[in-house]
Amino acid sequence: MRNLPFICLILLICFGCAEKIEPETRTVITLKKGWKFQKGQHPNAVNPSFDDSTWETVTVPHDWAIYGPFDKEIDKQEVAIMQNFESVATEKTGRTGALPYIGEGWYRNTFSVPNLDDNKKVIIQFDGAMSEPEVFINGQKVGEWKYGYAYFHFDISKYVKPENNLITVKLNNREQSSRWYPGAGLYRNVKVIVKNRESIDHWGTFITTPIITKELAKVNIKTKVTGNDLKLITTIFDAKGNVITAQESESLFNNEFDQNLAVPTPKLWSPDTPYLYTAVTKLYSGNDLKDEISTKFGIREIKFDRLTGFSLNGEITKFKGVCLHHDLGPLGAAINTSALRRQLTILKDLGVNAIRSSHNMPSLEQLELCDEMGFMFLAESFDEWKVPKVKNGYNLYFDDYAEKDIVNLVHATRNHPSIVMWSSGNEVPDQWGSEGVKRAKWLQDIFHREDPTRPVTVGMDQVKAVMESGFGAIMDIPGLNYRVHLYEEAYERFPQGFILGSETASTVSSRGVYKFPVEKGSMKTYDDLQSSSYDLEYCSWSNLPEDDFILQDDKPWVLGEFVWTGFDYLGEPTPYDEFWPSRSSYFGIADLAGLPKDRYYLYRSRWNTKEPTLHILPHWNWEGREGQTTPVFVYTNFNSAELFVNGKSQGIQTKTKNGSPQERYRLMWMDVTYEPGTLKVIALDDNGKQVVGKVIKTAGKPHKIVLEPDVTVLKANGEDLSFVTVSVVDENGIPCPTANNQLNFEVSGNGTFRAVCNGDPTSLELFHLPTMKLFSGKLVVLVQSTEAAGSMELKVSGEGLISRSVQLQSF
């Protein structure tokens, strides 16, 4: 090995087309456009001469089921949900979202292979295909997979020709294969990679940072290759593109180069400072450049210790995390980077520092954004092992695919600094008995073999069982799902010395909906199929947020939490599993449209330590409740506040450890009498000085539409989105929190209407039609760019309302 003073970089990563570099080493073609899709059984579609001209033309990523319609008969399940302590099977109508995901779906497309010759290797990579994909090239089957959430790839070198290659993908989604809406189709990207046979292996680079000091970081890079007479040159660049160091290697060990490079005065990756370096690796045979790849990475140290808990870069850190399902609300499962970025921006403001992918492999785009924006990540793999939760779940594939799926998960994502631990499962029924312990150990050993640098957890809900069987004792990180009353006993019984709240709270609420009387309740239901946004309702197996807060604040051995969930998702409409229409969850801190619920500000008051939080609930439009008791809650990171109704003080409330768990973290005025007008709260500092105030007012009739886009400038790539929040105000500009007007949407210019969502878990209006009712006074419209740069306009109208338009630009 020898250090090189400078290495020039010319790297191709091509999105949507094939481009050349000199000298040419590899081409990446993302197959987005031109796909033909048809649902149903079409066995002749593998034949190149098959006529697909009548099939629908779609762009991938694509979710065929999100376009509906909603139907209670779709995947209606007669089940007793073990995790919910049910012993009698009942009819569940909206468990998987009531969307038509079941059945076969077929995709066809064509592609060319640039500069194809006998020295080229061609790989096809699927980032996710729901589900049971079978892949054909030019009429010949090249392979199949099973798990819809898995990344997988095939070598298709012997099947391709230079031009007009036909790819056909058959998918099959079984009924009773999921506990939530899984989506359907090629919902993540499909890529063709063309490279030389002498090349870096697929996902063959592994970067770690085993030694970190203020003065120096050791960066270890292992690179698996194929070929003879090879040498490897790796150059590390900082975030501005400056060369930091380089190294040349010619010694191969079992087809792997092992390099150690020194980075002086390293800048460390963390949620607050997500600094990324880039390693550019070039492979030579003799003096001929054969391959090159670019890998972003971060320098960071993670440590789990029985005395100090979890530390990142030497600082004790609590996980302020949320669980996320993979659907993107009105977009369904189809991955979209701008939608993911919006989610993470909302979570960043909330103060979230960690995300758990529930309960499956995350998208590669999500991990890239978490690296860039600063989120630690718990990458999960399975919701089932050998013992089924649902009849046609992962239990069908476990024996043949579990190891392969874990290997692909680790190899595809291990260079992401955001990932700080793996999860091999969630609430698996295998928690009972010795066979389950063996499976847990077997899976954990696979993770350790493929990545010795990160620990492994399992989300365990059967805490008594795992204490008795030894299941919990063998895990690197004992993760408890709920069961706050068993934390103390688990801490005493488990040898690790700490507990992670791998899934917490499951508090339920509907945005802007309030129920009286205001009281705590488990599995409460109402005639309108909504849950109260006073944030005092929870599930039979779960608890309120404060129960977790107390454990984290009072028990240093609690590592933090991952709240169920950051956003509402399609399916699992607890506590309304048996009621129709109810087709999406109530668990979210934000609703299905990404609009914050009141609970958002309860968590923000705890997690966002950089900015003040002061939030009042409920709204103050209560015609018919005049003279009745209407409690007022305030979520704030100040300890005290004074409340006023129409200028009259309702007194000062102060958070206290001596009262209920709610009184420790909320300010509550339980005996306020409603009268229309003005509700005002003034926060006080610890010296009793007025600091900041918040006012809400009783609104009149809806009068005018208001539009608030999250971004006004888009990329002209046919994918970028602006999320426009739509609300209405009265003649005086006061928001109308109970408005439910039917609105219509029209997009003109260089943009298109993509979808709309109001966050109502009972709405059966379709996301892709340009009309929808407001829910609790708001909804969100998605405007998508075209590939032509220019301006676009969204116009929103409604009967009896003053219409409004907003201008957006794309470049």
- CATH number, position 395: 3.20.20.80
Domain stop point among 527, 550, 569: 569
Residue 467 pLDDT level (bands cut at 50, 70, 90): very high
Same domain? 176 vs 205: no
If asked whether residues 263 and 320 sit together in one domain, one would say: no
What pLDDT, on the 0 to 100 scale, is given for residue 19? Answer: 35
Which domain, by its residues, includes 324?
310-506+541-569
Least confident of 19-23, 387-391, 573-577, 796-800: 19-23
pLDDT tens-digit profile of 782-792? Answer: 999 999 999 99
Whether residue 346 is found in the same domain as residue 403: yes
Same domain, 275 and 317: no
Q: Is the pLDDT of residue 171 over 50?
A: yes
pLDDT of residue 79: 84
Q: Are residues 189 and 258 in the same domain?
A: no
| Span 354-370, pLDDT tens digits | 999 999 999 999 999 99
Mean pLDDT of 671-677: 98
**Do residues 191 and 215 both lie within one domain?**
no
- Residue indicated by tokens 């009068």: 703
Does the residue 189 lie in any domain?
A: yes
- DSSP symbol at 703: -
Q: How big is the CA angle at 157 (ends 156 and 158), to the nearest 5 degrees? A: 95
Amino acid 22: pLDDT: 39
Does residue 191 sit in the same domain as residue 211? Answer: no
Q: In this predicted structure, what is the pLDDT of residue 9?
A: 30
Closest alpha carbon to 6 in 247, 217, 173, 183: 247
pLDDT tens digits along 220-265:
999 999 999 999 999 999 999 999 999 999 999 999 999 999 999 9
Say if residue 186 is in the same domain as residue 210: no
Please check whether residue 641 lies inside any domain of the structure: no
Mean pLDDT, range 591-602, rounded to an integer: 98
Per-residue pLDDT averaged across 337-343, rounded? 98
Domain stop point among 154, 176, 196: 196
DSSP annotation string for 19-72: ---SS--EEEEE--S-EEEEES--GGGGSTT---TTSEEE-SS--GGGG----T
Would you state the pLDDT for residue 12? 27
Domain boundary among 145, 172, 196: 196
Q: Are residues 765 and 725 in the same domain?
A: yes
Alpha-carbon span 406 to 439, nearest angstrom: 13
623, part of any domain: no
| Amino acid occupying residue 388 | P
Examine residue 668 and state whether it is found in any structural domain, yes or no: no
Provide the pLDDT confidence category of residue 82 given band limits of 50, 70 and 90.
confident
The strand pair at 134-137 and 77-79 is best described as: unpaired
Residue 127 placed within a domain: yes
Q: Which residues contact 242 (CB under 8 A, 6 or more apart)?
A: none
Structural domain tally of the chain?
A: 4
Q: Are 596 and 533 in contact (CB under 8 A)?
A: no
Q: Give pLDDT, residue 341.
A: 98
The CATH code of the domain that includes 132 is: 2.60.120.260
* Percent residues over pLDDT 70 in the chain: 97
Query: What pLDDT is attached to residue 89?
Result: 86
- pLDDT, residue 473, reads 97
User: Are 259 and 336 members of one domain?
Assistant: no
Q: Any idea which residues carry the catalytic annotation?
A: 427, 503
Question: Per residue in 134-153, pLDDT tens?
Answer: 999 999 999 999 999 999 99
773-795 average pLDDT score: 98
Residue 18 has pLDDT above 50, yes or no: no
Whether residue 11 has pLDDT greater than 50:
no
Closest CA to 781 of 737, 809, 751: 751
Integer Cα distance of 498 and 307 in angstroms:
8
Residues 351 and 484 both lie in one domain: yes
Q: Which of 665, 636, 457, 633 is nearest to 551 (CA)?
A: 665
Name the 3-class secondary structure at 477: strand
- Using alpha carbons, list the distances in angstroms from residue 621 to 640, 650, 699, 739, 748: 25, 18, 7, 10, 36
First to last CA, the chain: 45
Give the mean pLDDT of the chain: 95
Q: What are phi and psi for residue 396, nearest 5 degrees?
A: -70, -25
Using left for φ > 0, alpha for ψ between -120 and 50, and beta otherwise, residue 254 falls in left
Report if residue 673 sits inside a domain: no
The answer to whether residue 593 sits within a structural domain is no
- By CB atoms closer than 10 A (0-12, 13-18, 19+), residue 181 is buried
List the structure tokens of 294: 């670019």
Q: Determine the pLDDT at residue 7.
A: 30
- Domain with 272 in it: what CATH number? 2.60.40.10
Does residue 250 share a domain with residue 103? Answer: no
Residue 597 resides in a domain: no
pLDDT given for residue 23 in this prediction: 52
The amino acid at residue 203 is: W
